[in-house]
Amino acid sequence: MRSAFEAYTAPKKEIPRSVYLTVSAFVGISVLAGWCILSYGGFVRPDFLPTPADVVWAGVSGLQDGSLLLNTAVSVGEIMAGFILASIAAVPLGILMGSFKIVEAAIEPVTNFVRYLPVSALIPLLILWVGIDMSEKITVIFIGTLFQQLILIADVSRGVSHDLLDVSYTLGADRRTVVTRVLVPATMPGVMDTLRVTLGWAWTYLVVAELVAANKGLGYFILNSMRGLFTDQIFLGITVIGLLGLLTDQLFKAFRNWLLPWAAEN
């Protein structure tokens, strides 16, 4: 027993898939059990903590009247549009910024300035510029995600070994070949990890934007539920966001493994 425990808790060591899934399931069931004890046991008032059954019935009601599907579809559309636009701009610029000092000198000062600005502080200005429709939410996600991606992708590109580039030049490759056939492929695993992480941040920016000014979306759904003190619907909105985030994370992980088989994760 002791040897098995030591093997499972050793740093940087793989554990059996069955053990991994068992631990994950145990933690998830423990959280659910704690929720049930607090809500069904009467330790917390229902208007502060609904029961799991109340949240499930709120979801059934939302599916029946179409409000849950509508708000979910709006939020998914906004986040994918903003995130994809930001990624299209950030990936090439970030690689160039981390590889060429002249590009870094041109882009990094502005990037470092904007990325420290709270995105929520820009929302009133964006409402004045683009209104409160979908374009404002997409712009919030774009700005909030783009500049974070630039710094992280530049760090990935900057970390590519100089020896790898020197060997390529020694073997007769020109600058364009080194960039397209060596530098870019070497950065792609780190770039994909960066995109996966920042996709989670994009959900935060979306909810912030929808809480401030929106008439559709999961953030609006949560805010509207709060006004009526419908905590079961608040928990429903939070749960849906969490499940969508988990789903998109796993899809992104699978896409990374498919696109970059040489750097696939277990």
DSSP code, position 11:
T
Q: What's the CA gap between 202 and 198, in Å, rounded?
A: 6
Q: How far apart are CA 250 and CA 256, in angstroms?
A: 10
pLDDT of the chain, 266 residues: tens digit per residue: 456 667 777 777 777 888 888 888 999 899 999 999 998 888 888 888 898 999 999 899 988 888 889 989 988 898 899 999 999 999 999 998 988 889 889 988 888 888 888 877 787 888 778 777 788 888 888 988 999 999 999 999 888 877 777 777 777 777 788 777 888 888 888 898 899 889 888 888 888 877 776 678 888 888 888 887 888 899 999 899 889 888 888 888 888 888 887 776 65
Q: How far apart are CA 8 and CA 20, in angstroms?
A: 10
Element containing residue 33 per DSSP (H, E): helix 17-40
Q: Tokens in use for 39? A: 């809500």
Gap between the Cα atoms of 82 and 132, Å rounded: 15
For 104, half-sphere exposure in the C-beta direction (CA atoms, 13 angstrom radius) is: 13
**Cβ–Cβ under 8 Å, residues 51 and 233:** no
pTM of the model: 0.83
Is residue 222 a contact partner of residue 234, using CB atoms and an 8 Å limit?
yes
The residues, ordered by sequence, that sit 6+ positions from 217 with a Cβ below 8 Å of its Cβ are 71, 74, 75, 78, 137, 206, 210
Which token pair is 75? 């939020």
Alpha-carbon distance values, 114 to 21, 58, 144 (Å): 41, 40, 9
The dihedral built from the CA positions of residue 209, 215, 216 and 221, taken in this order, carries a sign that is: positive
